[in-house]
Amino acid sequence: MQTLSLSDPILAAYAIAASLMILKVVAMSWLTVVRMMQENAGLRAPEDIKPTRLNPNPDPVQLQPNERVERVRRIQMNDLENVPFFLVAGFLYTLTAPPLWLAQLLFYGYAVTRFLHFGAYFTGQIHDIRAALWTPGSLIIIFMSVRVLLAALGV
């Protein structure tokens, strides 16, 4: 049985890309909070408009959707719909002993596409641009998953 270690350059490349993606997804939660505080809006639960130190003068209007807050939430939802599949497929792909250059291309390529997708979504680019940035990441996940499936089947 092979021992997993970050001294393995393939696993290290995966660990770098996976860590970046995890940090990105977590950062989106913080960005949502920052946007809610900037806008003083975009709250979701009725209890959020009870007086607190951070919201001393609550207003029911704060529960109405706010586009700047909702944009960040949509970006995070897109991450939550995509990044977990990368995390699993990427880890399993490391077990196929791919060439280092290919593993790095796939892992880092995925991370780059997610950051570029974030930039496009955050700045309100049209769907065609966002889709063009989302598609390579999706294809990377598909490629790795198929490669893992074939390796597991002994093909």
Q: How many domains does the chain have?
A: 1
pLDDT score recorded for residue 128: 97
Evaluate whether residue 75 is within a structural domain. Answer: yes
Evaluate whether residue 2 is within a structural domain. Answer: no
In this prediction the pTM is 0.90
Question: Does the structure show a pLDDT above 90 at 149?
Answer: yes
Q: What is the mean pLDDT of residues 41-53?
A: 90
Q: What is the rounded CA–CA span in Å between residue 4 and residue 59?
A: 53
Evaluate whether residue 3 is within a structural domain. Answer: no
Evaluate whether residue 4 is within a structural domain. Answer: no
pLDDT score recorded for residue 49: 87
Kindly report the CATH number assigned to the domain that includes residue 114: 1.20.120.550
Evaluate whether residue 1 is within a structural domain. Answer: no
The 3 state secondary structure assigned to the chain is CCCCCCCCHHHHHHHHHHHHHHHHHHHHHHHHHHHHHHHCCCCCCHHHHCCCCCCCCCCHHHHCCCHHHHHHHHHHHHHHHHHHHHHHHHHHHHCCCCCHHHHHHHHHHHHHHHHHHHHHHHCCCCHHHHHHHHHHHHHHHHHHHHHHHHHHHCC
Mean pLDDT of the chain: 95
Task: Give me the domain span that covers residue 25.
Answer: 9-153
Evaluate whether residue 69 is within a structural domain. Answer: yes
Q: What is the mean pLDDT of residues 32-50?
A: 91
* 68-123 pLDDT per residue, tens: 999 999 999 999 999 999 999 999 999 999 999 999 999 999 999 999 999 999 99
* 49-78 pLDDT per residue, tens: 899 998 898 889 999 999 999 999 999 999
Question: Does the structure show a pLDDT above 70 at 1?
Answer: no
Residue 110, CA distances (Å) to 58, 61, 84, 136, 150 in order: 41, 39, 12, 7, 21
